[in-house]
Each structure stands twice: as structure tokens, then as C-alpha cells.
Amino acid sequence: MMDQSKNVDIERKTVEKKMDSGMVASTFIKYAAYTLIFFGFLYFIVRYVFPMFR
């Protein structure tokens, strides 16, 4: 039998959860803009389009 000693280097990796506040803020602004556009469109429909059918 061949007796070989294997030298294995074990690399340890630590995973740190980083929260980028810039990404959170930009995502919030994006979805806030989507919400404002949606409700603005609904307001336009109710205020100007629905009265035309009366």
C-alpha cells in the first residue's frame, strides 16, 4: 500500500449579510413612484372619464 499523507488546505469563508441602504432607498422610491402613478391614473379615470358616460 502506498501511504501518502495529503496536505489539504481548508479555506474558510464567512458570509456577511450586508444591507445597502442606498439600494433600499432607491427601491422604496421606485415602488412609491409606481404607486403614485397608479393612483394618479385611477384619479384621472374617476374624475374625467366616468363623468363622460353620464
More confident residue, 18 or 52: 52
Nearest by Cα to 45 from 53, 35, 34, 31? 53
Look at residue 2 and tell me whether its pLDDT is greater than 60.
no
* Terminal C-alpha separation, the chain: 97
Q: What is the mean pLDDT of the chain?
A: 85
Q: How far is residue 29's CA from residue 14's CA, in Å, rounded to a whole number?
A: 32
Q: What span, in angstroms and rounded, lies between the C-alpha atoms of 37 and 16?
A: 37
pLDDT value of position 5: 66
Q: How confident is the model at residue 43 (pLDDT cuts 50, 70, 90)?
A: very high
